[in-house]
């Protein structure tokens, strides 16, 4: 469930196809995200999941799996 919601957020912000996104997908290398894209994704995650992600945690998010872990730990 969380993966699909996160996938939808990424698709909407990065304008990529859902099939390009797996837990192992990296935001920068695989999807071409820049720092502004990452910021927008974090903001959308916070809104979509009703959580708050600490700024120190943001730097640790390299892959979709990293983001999923943060989402699960924040609930």
> H helices within the chain, ranges in order?
2-14, 35-49, 55-58, 64-74
- Is 34 catalytic? The answer is yes
CB neighbours of 4 closer than 8 A, spacing ≥ 6?
none
64, 24 in Cβ contact below 8 A? Answer: yes
Among 34, 37, 54, 66, the active-site one is 34
Residues annotated as part of the active site: 34
């Amino acid at each position: 469930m969380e993966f699909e919601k996160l996938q939808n957020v990424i698709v909407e912000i990065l304008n990529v196809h859902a099939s390009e996104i797996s837990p192992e997908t990296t935001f920068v290398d695989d999807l071409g995200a820049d720092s502004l894209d990452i910021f927008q994704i974090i903001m959308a995650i916070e809104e979509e999941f009703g959580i708050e992600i600490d700024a120190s945690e943001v730097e640790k998010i390299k892959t979709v799996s990293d983001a999923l872990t943060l989402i699960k730990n924040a609930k």
